[in-house]
Amino acid sequence: MQRARATLQKIVLDALRRAPREEVPLLAWPIVCGPQVAQRTQALVFQDGTLRIAVPDTTWRGQLRDMAPEYVAKLNQISPMAIARIEFVIAEVQADSPS
């Protein structure tokens, strides 16, 4: 299983390297935060070193704010654009619906 995960991670990182630089922080958010958080959040915009993430409520905002330094560090390992901070805003988040 670890081998499959490493292969998948390599594929995703290769795809991110080919993406437009300014889009990488947005595309990398679901990878960095993990599937459970990604399902309840949405990367909105990356501008002036700040990645803005929509969250469903104040509880999510508070919990993710505590994790922000870890997310910033992980994003900066992947992104060619420097991420200085993450701002969590309360907004309607479109959950992926099963097909």
User: Residues 27-52: what's their mean pLDDT?
Assistant: 95
**Can you list the domains of the chain with their CATH numbers?**
2-90 (3.30.300.180)
Could you give the dihedral angle defined by the CA atoms of residues 47, 48, 53 and 58, in that order, rounded to the nearest 10 degrees? -140
User: Residues 40-64: what's their mean pLDDT?
Assistant: 97
State the pTM of this model: 0.83
Strand-strand pairing, 42-47 and 50-55: antiparallel
Residue 97 clears pLDDT 50, i.e. is over it: no
Alpha-helical regions (H) of 19-57: 24-33, 35-40
Residue 99 clears pLDDT 50, i.e. is over it: no
Can you tell me whether residue 64 is helix, strand or coil?
Answer: helix
